[in-house]
Chain A
Amino acid sequence: MRRLLRHTLVRHAALCGAICIALSGASDHVIAQTDAAPDLLPDAQQTRRVEAAVDRAVEYLARHQHADGSWPSGLGKNNGINGVCLLAMLGRGHVPGRGPYRATVERAVAFIAATQDEMGMYRSPNPTHGPMYEHAYATLAMVEAYGYLPSLFMRKNCQRAIDLIVKAQSRNGGWRYQPYPGDADLSVTVMQLVALRAATNARLTVPQETIKRALGYVKACIAEEGGFAYQPYGAAGPARTTAGILSMQLLGEFDHPAVEAAFKYLDKQKYAPTMEHYWYFSYYAMQANYQAGGDRWANWHPKVRTLMLGTQNEDGSWPGYGDAKYNGSTNCFSTAMGAMTLEVYLHYLPAYQR
């Protein structure tokens, strides 16, 4: 009996051992790879670093959001800042209704929605002299968020904001600071264009004529020496040039000679935090180079990535540099812009799809 028992035990132990060996063999049987990711995907280590930096930035923004959904800034409660911060959340894929930052995003949306006046403008409690800037950022953020807040109210809210933009277009096709037709400059125009493009994607009503005339204005700002000027016949500047390139690209004018000339103008600029409008430039340049692809993108994004990863603070924020006035006591604006710059790698925001 003892011998029988011993024999049975030994046999079962051998069977278990064989099963273990078989299973471990099955799990080991993968194609050996010396890289962490398949060749199609970018370097896994770099990807992780970028995403970790963005996640720290997003966490910073979530921590500093006010209870009412707005963000602190050097301008007070400003929808331009709120829009940028909300875009930074959305750009990481944190959409309303789900995920670890749903409350942050939903509060922000609710705040901005509540600031809409009878004209449709997202009027900041603390506006600057250029409310259309702020309105454009806020509109873009709201239109992007709309896809996950499927209510009639949200649609109407966004549509009214778009309608205001359409109404405020000047005769020459551009926009400027105030919500009515008048003067225009490239910087404000670009922001409206991006918002309108997002609205088109979202099946909101956007007259094609508006887009066509806006493109005409952007082209009018092409500078003779290459690049784009603030206003027609003006001199080119780096930040406005990136905005001009992106506008042309988003409207399908990839092969326009002015785009290549503008890139050549940018090639001569030194990319550094000491640049004027550094964050604005960083973000639009990243988008523009991505849209261009090829050598342009390949040469551009590593240096931006290196700089951004090397200058992020421990708390996840980025310093304001020359735009510190928008930050105030916190770094929300610059952090949001930094996050959005790196989020170009993720390609999540529909407004910027090719």
Chain B
Amino acid sequence: MNRLWLKLIRVDESFAEPSSIDWFFTRPWVAIVGGLLLIPIAWWIVQRHARALPHLSVRSRTMLSVCRVGVLALLVLVLADPHVRLTSTVEHKPVVALIVDESASMKLPAGVYDDADAAEPLIAATRVKSLDDLNTRSRLDLARAALGLQDDLIDDLSQRFELRAYRLGRKTIREVDIVSITGDTDATSFADDETAIGDALRRVVDDAAGRTVAAVILVSDGRSTFGSDPRQVVRGWAARDGDQGRPIWAVPVGSDVTAPDAVLLDVLSPGRVTQGDTAAVIATVGSTGLSDRKVQVDLVRGDDVIDSSSITLQDAERRQVQLDYRAATPGRHALTVRVSPQPEEQVKQNNAQTIEVETSDDRFKVLYLESVPRWDFRFLDHALRRDGGTDATLVMSSQLRAAGVEPDDLPAAAKLPRDVDGWSDYHVVILGDVSPALLTSAAQKSLVEAVRRRAVGLIVQAGPTAMPHAFAAGPLNDLLPVNVRRTSDARGAPGGVEAPAYAPFRLKLSGEGALHPAFQLYDSGPKNRAVWDLMPTFFWSSDVVEARPGATVLARRVAARDETPLIAEQPAGKGRVFYVGYDATFRWRRNIGEHVFERFWGQAIRRVARPQDKDAKQSRIEVTPQRAEPGEPVAVELYAVDAGGEPIDAEMVKVKVTRDGAAGDGESLTLKRTGPGRYRAVWRAESSGRFALTYDGVSRSNASVRIAGSGRELRRPIVDRDTLGAIGDATGGGLIELDQLATLADRIEGEVTRDTRTIERAVWDHWLTLVLIVGLYCVDVGIRRMTGSM
């Protein structure tokens, strides 16, 4: 009966099985008094009907009395306000999460165990056959072997807690069946995957959805190579949740003794090289346990060793070696850098990395105007001379002035281009801190036209003397991607802003900058940013107020109180303008020499350069970077033209993305307009492979990008007990060895929590009450009419 009533009054489904149901009146005195009064009133109604309606049958009179009394009874009921109270109690067991790391590093050999006595407990706990067997088994095998023998522990935890199983790689997957992670199986989903321990910890807490997490058992080698830093995650827990601990019991898998290992830590190479040029490929090599060993570092293309160098390893120091690649043939070439494997190495997958270099036969004519030989000029001058893809003409106004040329004669003496055709002879014009005396208003006008109509690229580097503040009122100002604060002083007043001695400026790459070709050192946006954000501080920059609409801010100047655009780019008609707001890029040479500096400037030049004549009337699609990791952003930029070579004006265009070797039509990527003929989108691939991006406009254009793992996972295949211990200690847990898993039963504590919910509902406020009242009244009226009593 109760359930019928509950259904009628539509109680929450979560109270389908309430633990108690209580009916009550909120105004019980009304019920009592009303009920008591109802008796004499009912008697009076019956008597009155008997006197007033003698012609009706007893039955009819009774019906009428029932109706009247019924209505009054309902009235009393409504006024007494009946309610029902439902109570539901749910028991929650605390959650215990068992996370087993199945990333690529867990497939490595467990390590070096050379003391049979010390290894005896581990051998017993995993039931491997011998010490040799222990050394050859993978870390994951050992983990599973140990867990597979802990039936008692699993049963105990399952009874006392809600035991949840997770498999950890780049993503964390929750398994319904705990046997799938403790059983003896070779199959894993994460064979080539990285390790995201921090993300896994977050996942556990998210899944718990507010419930108590009694413990996290993390079985891993501790190397977190992707996603959130686990130490920061647990620090965040402590900061947010205070003492609410989620103890992490970390079970390190693998030996602390690191096997001797030579590792290719990093390869820096240009993404594009000019045919005939020689590119420097910088390999950074590290080692453990191989000090004073001579190894060969080769640069290989296909089966051919194209350069080689011998280095002596030193465990305490990374070694950098330069290998030379002579770019003979246009096209994309895969090169491999490899360190000769040593016999005692257990991990040899980290001895090699493959890079791709595009060789082009494009050459760029560059006109570089400068006033004085600033340090950036002196380094860039050398770089341009070394760059086989550039043919640079340099003009220095101070040189001309020293030779006796008067300011008014500077443009003629410098033999600057006089018209649009003259400027258009160059692919790129670089303006240093030149003054309007050299770059007159007329010259600026023709330069601006050359940029807008002939796609000449323009790079502007700021300086204190004149650029760009002395050009604020001139035609050149319209091209700049930034608004610079105007100086109100007399001509010649220095511009820009200085940092206080105690708070120098810092460069910070934007998200766009991390993907921009000029800043590309690696195929990974985050990795690019990690390097660029470490560039040294500086003390002067131009005084930029803001970026202009349509400009892309690539880097910001971070000061004590604000951030302002520092390096920016924008399309200008058919061309591009690149603005560098300070003159101390020579500082990027700190500790690394010319590599970063020259990469930036060479790439910036190629980025803004007027297209080669052969490409001028073609659509062009570019992707940056040309190699990325799964899930990382790839910028796709398109310059689309019509049959006449003029930029199209659609709001959006589509580009087809297909994966090599995959069936089907692939996916369609929508690019949005960023300027005349220019379109852009950011694309991500979740899986590895080579992808082709094709624009099928009037002229077809295509590009490709390779999505592949970073190789981080195997770069330092140590067992990181420090990280595991740190997160254990920080959360009130600790380190538990594989042979001590059984002790977890005593270490993990938790109480069942009960969640009691109570709801109250009014019973009378229901359509049934209305039906009854109306029904009784209708019956009363009906009887009277039928009997002629009305």
Flag if B594 contacts A354 (CB, 8 Å): yes
Besides A33-B530, A42-B318, A203-B373, 17 new A-B residue pairs in contact (Cβ under 8 A), listed by A number: A17-B240, A24-B240, A32-B226, A32-B229, A39-B265, A39-B715, A40-B531, A47-B591, A98-B539, A99-B539, A147-B372, A148-B374, A302-B316, A345-B590, A346-B589, A346-B591, A350-B375
The size bracket of the interface on B is: 35 or more
The B interface, classified by DSSP as helix, strand, loop or mixed, is: mixed
Q: Is B377 an interface residue (CB 8 A)?
A: yes
Segment of B340-348, B395-403, B544-552 in the binding face: B395-403
- B: residues with CB less than 8 A from A are 196-198, 202, 223-230, 232-233, 236, 239-240, 265-266, 268, 282, 284, 286, 309-312, 314, 316-322, 371-375, 377-379, 381-382, 396, 398-399, 401-402, 433, 464-465, 498-499, 501-502, 504, 521, 526-527, 530-531, 534, 536, 539-540, 584, 586-587, 589-594, 712, 715-716, 720, 723
Flag if B229 contacts A30 (CB, 8 Å): yes
Say whether, besides A34-B716, A152-B402, A40 and B284 are in contact (CB < 8 Å): yes
Question: Could you pull out 25 A-B pairs where Cβ atoms are within 8 angstroms?
Answer: A28-B229, A30-B526, A31-B226, A32-B196, A32-B225, A32-B227, A34-B723, A38-B266, A38-B531, A39-B266, A39-B715, A40-B592, A97-B464, A98-B539, A100-B501, A147-B373, A148-B375, A150-B371, A155-B398, A155-B401, A294-B321, A298-B311, A347-B590, A348-B586, A350-B379
Most buried by A among B233, B374, B378, B465: B378
Flag if B312 contacts A31 (CB, 8 Å): no
- The one of A31, A34, A293 that contacts B526, using a Cβ cutoff of 8 Å: A31
Residues in chain B near residue A302, CB distance under 8 A: 314, 316-317
Flag if A353 contacts B379 (CB, 8 Å): yes
* Min distance, Cβ B724 to any Cβ of chain A, angstroms: 12
* 6 A-B pairs with the lowest CB-CB distances in the bound complex, closest first: A100-B501, A39-B266, A150-B372, A350-B378, A39-B265, A98-B539
* Min distance, Cβ B597 to any Cβ of chain A, angstroms: 9
Which residue on chain A has the smallest CB distance to residue B229?
A32
The A interface, classified by DSSP as helix, strand, loop or mixed, is: loop
When chains A and B are docked, how far (Å) is the Cα of A47 from the Cα of B534? 12
Flag if A40 contacts B381 (CB, 8 Å): no
Residues in chain B near residue A348, CB distance under 8 A: 375, 586-587, 589-590
Say whether, besides A28-B232, A148-B374, A150-B371, A345 and B587 are in contact (CB < 8 Å): no
Say whether, besides A147-B372, A152-B398, A155-B398, A30 and B228 are in contact (CB < 8 Å): yes
Q: Is A268 an interface residue (CB 8 A)?
A: no
Most buried by B among A37, A42, A159, A347: A347
When chains A and B are docked, how far (Å) is the Cα of A39 from the Cα of B225? 14
- The one of A39, A99, A159 that contacts B402, using a Cβ cutoff of 8 Å: A159
Flag if A353 contacts B382 (CB, 8 Å): yes
Flag if B202 contacts A25 (CB, 8 Å): yes
Residues in chain A near residue B382, CB distance under 8 A: 201, 353
- The one of B227, B504, B587 that contacts A29, using a Cβ cutoff of 8 Å: B227
- The one of B286, B399, B587, B720 that contacts A203, using a Cβ cutoff of 8 Å: B399
When chains A and B are docked, how far (Å) is the Cα of A24 from the Cα of B198? 13
Which residue on chain A has the smallest CB distance to residue B716?
A34
- The one of B229, B309, B589, B716 that contacts A347, using a Cβ cutoff of 8 Å: B589
- The one of B202, B227, B228, B317 that contacts A43, using a Cβ cutoff of 8 Å: B317
When chains A and B are docked, how far (Å) is the Cα of A30 from the Cα of B311? 33
- A: residues with CB less than 8 A from B are 17, 20-21, 24-25, 28-34, 37-43, 47, 93, 95, 97-100, 146-148, 150, 152, 155-156, 159, 201-203, 293-295, 298-299, 302, 345-348, 350, 353-354
Q: How many pairs, one residue from A and one from B, have CB atoms within 8 Å of each other in the complex?
A: 166
Flag if B372 contacts A93 (CB, 8 Å): no
When chains A and B are docked, how far (Å) is the Cα of A202 from the Cα of B311? 36
Flag if A298 contacts B590 (CB, 8 Å): no
* Min distance, Cβ A71 to any Cβ of chain B, angstroms: 21
When chains A and B are docked, how far (Å) is the Cα of A40 from the Cα of B595? 10
When chains A and B are docked, how far (Å) is the Cα of A188 from the Cα of B696? 67
Which residue on chain A has the smallest CB distance to residue B282?
A40
Residues in chain A near residue B530, CB distance under 8 A: 31, 33, 38
Which residue on chain A has the smallest CB distance to residue B266?
A39
When chains A and B are docked, how far (Å) is the Cα of A34 from the Cα of B202? 20
- The one of B312, B398, B715, B720 that contacts A299, using a Cβ cutoff of 8 Å: B312
* Min distance, Cβ A254 to any Cβ of chain B, angstroms: 12
When chains A and B are docked, how far (Å) is the Cα of A156 from the Cα of B399? 10
Say whether, besides A32-B198, A156-B402, A24 and B527 are in contact (CB < 8 Å): no
When chains A and B are docked, how far (Å) is the Cα of A302 from the Cα of B318? 11
Flag if A39 contacts B318 (CB, 8 Å): yes
Flag if A298 contacts B594 (CB, 8 Å): no
Flag if A347 contacts B265 (CB, 8 Å): no
Flag if B374 contacts A147 (CB, 8 Å): yes
Residues in chain B near residue A30, CB distance under 8 A: 228-229, 526
